[in-house]
Structure 1
Amino acid sequence: MPPKQRAVAARYQPDQRGLLASAYSGLTSPDNATVVRSVLVFGAAVAFLHSSFSELLLPA
């Protein structure tokens, strides 16, 4: 007969870091790199199109 295995319940331990530290580690996580990069590129494009530099795109 195989030995009996006792199930050990894992306790939930809340994150001890603060809000800013958790946000920073979430933004710099390799899993979120593509999403963060996409949001930054979109923001840069909106800022460019809203600025006076967007007149460079108009035909002469």
Structure 2
Amino acid sequence: MSLTHKHEIHTRRFSRNMGVGLTLVALIGIVFGLTFVKVTRGDFEVPRANSTIVGDQ
């Protein structure tokens, strides 16, 4: 019993998986790009944590 024979469904699944993978890579690239632009523009400021220590004003 040889495993070299590919069934037709394997090519369809590979095509679908390739599409999903490329979509995920594109989404990650968009998020990374937007984050990079926001940080390098200079208007990004890390939010300050509110102090909960008594007497610290």
TM-score higher than 0.5: no
TMscore range, shorter length: 0.3 to 0.5
TM score, norm. by length of structure 1: 0.40
TM-score (ref. length: structure 2): 0.42
